[in-house]
Structures are given as C-alpha cells and as structure tokens.
Structure 1
Amino acid sequence: MQENYQKITEESGVMSFELELNAPRPKVWELIATTKGFAQWFPELSVGESGVDGMILFDFGNGEYEEMTITIYDPKSVLEYTWDKNVVRFELIEKEATTVLRFTEEITELTTHTPRDIAGWYMCLQKIQGILEDKDVSFTEEEFLALFDKYQAVMN
C-alpha cells in the first residue's frame, strides 16, 4: 500500500493511501458504499441514505449516531463524505482485472485524535483487501499503537 501525507499548514493536510485490489470495481464499491459492505470491515458505519446529501451514520453503540453528509456520490467510482470536520474520499479506478482504491482524508484541523483516525483507516483498508483476497486480517493493540505512533510522527 502506498501512502503519503501532504502538510498544508501546521493544522491541516491530506493523508492518502492507494492500494491495488484483486477484484472488479463493482465488488469493491459494494464493500465501501453499502451497509452490508461496511458490516464486514467497519460495523459502526451504515448508509442512512445513498446519494449526494445522503448520510453515512456512525453508531457510537449507545443509541447515539453521528450523521456524516455524503458530498460526492458517483456509483462504482467515488464516495466522499464528511468525517467530523474533515472529509474522506474513496475513489475507485479500474485497472485491467484489478481496481485501484485511492483513499484520502482532507484534514482541516489536526488534533491529538487525528493520528488515531489515520491508523484506523490504514487498518480498515487492510481489512478491505483481506476480505477481497479471502484472508483474515486483524490487528493487535500493539500493532495499532505502533501505527498511531507512526502517524503521529508523520503529522508533526
């Protein structure tokens, strides 16, 4: 997986990941843009309503939900939605028999929690790849903390 952090200001930047998936674009879209797909790699997320101005819901597990507005919805190609004060984007590019998944998070306000989110996205992308390759992908707390430390260093 390729990754890049582009610092814009001391408080903002863009984190991107790109990986080539051994699956057709419609199958990848199903994973990243439907409640059924989310359940496999990020069960706290669900689709409230598809389409631009629709909602992705984040379930806090206590009966409360955060609504995240879908800002771009181009079926089987681009899904972009708000993520707190930031914006996350999944872009799918067909490449022969594979699909390139480009994930970006536009970070408008760097917080102490931001590296945790980025470490989480890294793990989610690995899980997506594992699902498509029929491999079990899991992370220990130690692995997560190592990723958190890594992204904390990258963003400072």
Structure 2
Amino acid sequence: MIAELIKKESGAIARYERQWKYSVQEVWAWLTENDKLSNWFSELQIEELSEGGAIIFQMPDGTSDKLTITELKIYSVLEFTWWENRMRFELSPESGGCRLVLTETLKEITDHTSKDLAGWHMCLEVILALLNGRTIESRAKEWKIWYEKYIHAVQEFTSEKTAD
C-alpha cells in the first residue's frame, strides 16, 4: 500500500501504515538494534538510543551525519530528524500482532521526494521480508516499481495542493 500524502500549512506528511503479525517487541528490535537495522538500512547506526541521542548516517563518500532522536518511548515511538524533515515510527499492539505507522514530516516537496518515499516504502517491505525469514531478490528493481508510483502520487498531490 502506497503512503498517504497529507497536506500541511507548509509541506506535507507522508504516512505509511502496516498491520503485521509480529509483536511490537519483534518489530522494535528491527528498528533499534544495530545488527538488525543494518540489514534493512545499512547506512544507519544507532549511537545512543535515548531522547537527544544520535543515529549516524554513513554517507557513500565515507563521511557521516548525526541525526537526533527527538522522541523515544520504548516499544512505542522512535522519532528522529531526517535533515530538515522528521521520521517517526509508532508501534501499537493489536490482536495477532502490531500496527506500525511510519510518518515523514516533509518541510517541502522537492524533486527528490518521490525517491525518498519509494525508499522508505522499500525499507518497510524489507523489514517485513526479514521478519518473515526471507529476502527481497532485487531491492533496486522493487524500488524502481514503487518509485514510478510515487512519482505519480507526488505529481497528483502537488497539483491538488496548487488547485486549493
């Protein structure tokens, strides 16, 4: 399911919602334990899991950026800066598993937004595959499929926004 784009006074929110048959604790581990995190987002590493703590993003050129954890509630909320944007994972228990809501608060829609949205979509697909004990054969191929869908979704969203 594609992310829902929600208008804000300035910018937007991209909201992904998933119901998974896994416990909050199992999913939380994939979001916060570096040995698991590296399997779905190899550039990220949690330096300190606490409010005000840091997540390190390793750039392809060998440099790194620090992202700040802005809210943390164990097994419930992990929110951190994503440069000028903000990422938020929320987990809640449900019968037979949990609900995961990922939101990205976007300061503005740019030419890069569709790529990022497809990337986060793929992150969720990869986490679920890993939870299911499998891998996605070609992440790049899958990403490209979702990227095309997000190009259209962002175009539609921005044309609606300008019509308002």
> Match for residue 130 of structure 2?
131
Matches within 5 A, 1:1-156: 1=1, 3-8=3-8, 12-139=11-138, 141-156=140-155
Distance in 2 between the 1:22 and 1:12 partners? 33
- CA displacement 1:79-101 (0-9 Å, x = unmatched): 00011110010000100220111
Q: Which runs of 5+ in 1 are unaligned?
A: none
Separation in 2 of the partners of 1:152 and 1:7? 17
Q: Secondary structure at the match of 1:87?
A: strand
Report the Cα offset of residue 140 of structure 1. Answer: 5.1
- How many residue pairs are counted as aligned between the two chains? 155
Which of structures 1 and 2 has the bigger CA Rg?
2
Runs of 4+ in structure 1 over 3 Å off = 138-143
Residue 143 of structure 1, CA deviation = 3.5
Residue in 1 aligned with 2:159? none
The answer to whether the Cα contact below 8 Å between 1:13 and 1:107 also exists between their aligned partners in 2 is yes
1:69–1:140 distance in 2 versus 1, CA, 3 Å: closer
Specify the SS of the correspondent of 1:26: helix
Normalised to the residue count of structure 2, the TM-score between the two structures is 0.87
Partner Cα distance (2:48, 2:97) in 1: 28
- Alpha-carbon distance change, 142 to 37 in structure 1, aligned in 2, over 3 angstroms: closer
Gaps in structure 2 of 5+ consecutive residues: 156-164
Percentage of matched positions with identical amino acids:
30
User: Aligned pair in 2 of structure 1 residues 140, 81: CA closer, same or farther (>3 Å)?
Assistant: closer
Paired AA for residue 149 in structure 2: K
Where 2:3 maps in the other structure, the secondary structure is strand
Structure number with higher helix proportion: 2
Displacement of 1:135 in angstroms is 2.3
Q: CA RMSD in A?
A: 1.7
* Contact 1:2–1:18 (CA under 8 A) maintained in structure 2: no
User: Higher strand share goes to which structure?
Assistant: 1
Alignment deviations for residues 100-137 of structure 1 (CA, whole Å, 9 cap, x no partner): 11101010121111111110000010011111111222
